[in-house]
């Protein structure tokens, strides 16, 4: 297990390096004067030359790439000061260090992700297990039908409906907003309650269908039927054998959804006018702020690789066959 984990971590570092190299050369081979983007309109040639020198754009592309990669590990010096590791460069638009901008936006994205994840996992997996347990009954048909309907909704549609009813028409709730948890936990929860509810509604429907189908499939496996034939209690067989066996595909989807949400829930943040990582990525793309765009891409790639490793470790604890492989 340890050797497997070491190989995965080394592989993740190699992939991160390749992603960094690909994004760097992809962006910096675009025929565009990045110093002019940073300087803005009515920029004098003197200021343009100073900015080009401060950003290192007067050096060969290979030297720029090496400086960028070393800055991620050891930090980097700019005219504005020292950028501590992990340094992802300096924004052309705002002049702020990219890592500082990401760290400033990440708590909101993390709050959206964790709150929504807890709700839709509890409701989705619970209702899916109930539907599988009561297969063929009215409860199963109701849960399955509701999940089919809700899974067809989109966040931008359902979010607009909820905002229109709960905020603008009735005034029962206020517009979604973000307050740091350390400042006011109650304001933190109430400000994100509507986005959590909308995300949970859509994701719950998806996880309900997935949990139900995987549970029903596991209940047809030979080892489950053998356990029933030996006289084991149905509830024990359901949770001890069928539920554990159904977790592998569910954990895979959780890892994918979690990495996508942590990389920036773009639609959710735009729907509820929240400034998280997703909103930062879109704004950077619109303003052609390439260092910031690269930084967000690498940040998202890091979470994808990290959660892939976490999922692989979870496999080993869920399925003993993985530990023996």
pLDDT at residue number 188: 92
Q: What is the pLDDT of residue 204?
A: 86
SS3 of 97, please? strand
Give the residue extent of every domain in the chain: 16-97, 99-322
- On the 0-12 / 13-18 / 19+ scale of CB atoms within 10 A, 196 is buried
The pLDDT, as a whole number, for residue 247 is 79
- The predicted structure's pLDDT at residue 108: 92
The predicted pLDDT at position 320 comes to 63
Supply 47's token pair. 């200021």
Phi, psi angle pair for 32, to nearest 5° = -145, 140
**pTM for this one?**
0.83
The list of the chain residues with pLDDT below 70 reads 1, 29-42, 54-55, 264, 319-325
Report the alpha-carbon distance of residue 155 to residue 149 in Å, rounded. Answer: 14
Q: Under CATH, which number does the domain 99-322 receive?
A: 1.10.3720.10
| pLDDT the model gives residue 324 | 47
Q: Return all residues near 23 (Cβ < 8 A) that are at least 6 apart.
A: 294, 297, 298
CB environment 214-253: b (16+ within 10 A), e (fewer) = bbbebbeeeebeebbeeeeeeeebbeebbbebbbbebbee
C-alpha distances (whole Å) from 10 to each of 5, 135, 175, 306, 316 are: 9, 45, 45, 12, 19
Residue 6, pLDDT score: 81
Angle at 23 between CA 20 and CA 25, to 5 degrees: 100
């Amino acid at each position: 297990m340890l050797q497997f984990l070491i190989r995965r971590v080394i592989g993740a570092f190699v992939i991160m390096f390749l992603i960094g190299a690909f994004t760097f050369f992809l962006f910096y081979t675009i025929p565009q004067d990045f110093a002019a983007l940073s300087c803005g309109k009515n920029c004098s040639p003197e200021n343009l030359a100073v900015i080009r020198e401060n950003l290192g754009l007067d050096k060969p592309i290979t030297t720029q790439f090496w400086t960028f990669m070393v800055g991620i590990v050891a930090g980097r010096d700019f005219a504005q000061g020292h950028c501590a590791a992990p340094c992802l460069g300096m924004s052309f638009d705002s002049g702020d260090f990219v890592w500082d901008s990401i760290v400033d936006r990440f708590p909101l994205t993390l709050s959206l992700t964790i709150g929504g994840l807890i709700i839709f996992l509890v409701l989705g997996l619970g209702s899916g297990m109930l539907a599988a347990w009561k297969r063929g009954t009215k409860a199963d048909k109701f849960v399955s039908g509701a999940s089919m309907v809700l899974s067809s909704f989109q966040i931008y549609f359902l979010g607009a409906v909820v905002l229109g009813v709960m905020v603008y028409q009735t005034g029962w709730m206020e517009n979604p907003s973000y307050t740091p948890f350390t400042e006011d936990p109650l304001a933190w929860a109430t400000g994100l309650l509507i986005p959590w509810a909308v995300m949970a509604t859509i994701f719950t429907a998806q996880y309900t269908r997935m949990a139900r189908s995987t549970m029903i499939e596991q209940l047809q496996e030979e080892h489950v039927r053998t356990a029933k034939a030996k006289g084991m209690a149905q509830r024990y067989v359901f949770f001890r054998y069928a539920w554990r066996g159904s977790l592998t595909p569910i954990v895979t989807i959780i890892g994918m959804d979690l990495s996508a949400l942590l990389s920036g829930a773009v639609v959710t943040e735009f729907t509820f006018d929240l400034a998280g990582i997703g909103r930062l990525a879109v704004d950077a793309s619109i303003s052609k702020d390439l260092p910031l765009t690269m930084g967000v891409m690498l940040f998202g790639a890091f979470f994808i690789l990290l959660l892939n490793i976490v999922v692989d470790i979870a496999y080993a604890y869920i399925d003993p066959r993985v530990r023996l492989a």
